[in-house]
A = this chain, B = another copy of it.
Amino acid sequence: MNPIEFVLPGEIEKRSFEIISEELEKRQIVLPKEQEPVTKRVIHTSADFDYAETMCYSDHAVEIAKELILKGADVVTDTNMALAGINKKILASFGGEAHCFMADLDVAQLARERQVTRATISMEKAAAIEKPVIFAVGNAPTALIELHKMITEGRYQPAFIIGVPVGFVNVVPAKELIMETEVPYIINRGRKGGSNVAAAICNAILYQLRR
């Protein structure tokens, strides 16, 4: 067993990223410069190097997301865990707010009435926000399916989609649907993802803009 290594609190994250870089090198994986801080932070939050192979970015995705945040875009997520994890202070410093409508009473009621998931209704509620919205979906493929429906029906255009729901039912095809649209995206292909991954992606972008 490795012994406990003495690392100053302020150095732990730096040391972690060094180890991630070393292991990527060993695996002969070279990440595109723009995507590197995002994919590495996802590996940092999961200790799972599979993400180095499955994270998908539309053209200039990270730059587009950064510009949106600089212009004050809001973030809507589908779990309160992701909401808790997103650095809301940096987001607010540019005028953006983070929302999660999943626990709202009207959302629960409408979902019951219409026999759809709360995530579906949450996306409709988010579409009413009158400014550009970055969607950070870490849990519900139904959120992505609803976004795709609104996009293809011409009812709503999300500014950006972070699509990293996790799971076994419709997760894989829901992600592929989003990648067929014109909306800029960061998506983790396959079953893996999660609220932690959604928050990590948001934070990797936010930390680059911290002032």
Chain A residues in the interface with B (C-beta under 8 A): 1-5, 7-9, 12, 15-16, 19-20, 44-48, 79-85, 111, 115-118, 142, 145, 166-174, 176-177, 190-196, 199
List 26 interface pairs A-B (beta carbons < 8 Å), by A numbering: A1-B172, A2-B172, A4-B145, A4-B174, A4-B177, A5-B170, A9-B116, A9-B118, A9-B142, A12-B117, A12-B169, A15-B168, A15-B169, A16-B167, A16-B169, A46-B166, A46-B192, A47-B190, A47-B191, A48-B48, A48-B192, A79-B84, A80-B84, A81-B84, A81-B196, A81-B199
CB atoms of A115 and B47 under 8 A apart: no
Report A52 CB to chain B, min CB distance, Å. Answer: 14
Residues from chain B with Cβ under 8 Å of A145 in the complex: 4
Number of copies: 2
Residues from chain B with Cβ under 8 Å of A118 in the complex: 9
Known interface pairs A12-B117, A84-B83; A173-B1 also in contact (CB < 8 Å): yes
Known interface pairs A44-B167, A117-B12, A195-B196; A2-B173 also in contact (CB < 8 Å): yes
- The residue that A47 contacts in the complex, of B82, B83, B168, with Cβ under 8 A, is B168
Residues from chain B with Cβ under 8 Å of A80 in the complex: 84-85
Cβ-closest 3 pairs across A and B = A47-B191, A84-B84, A19-B168
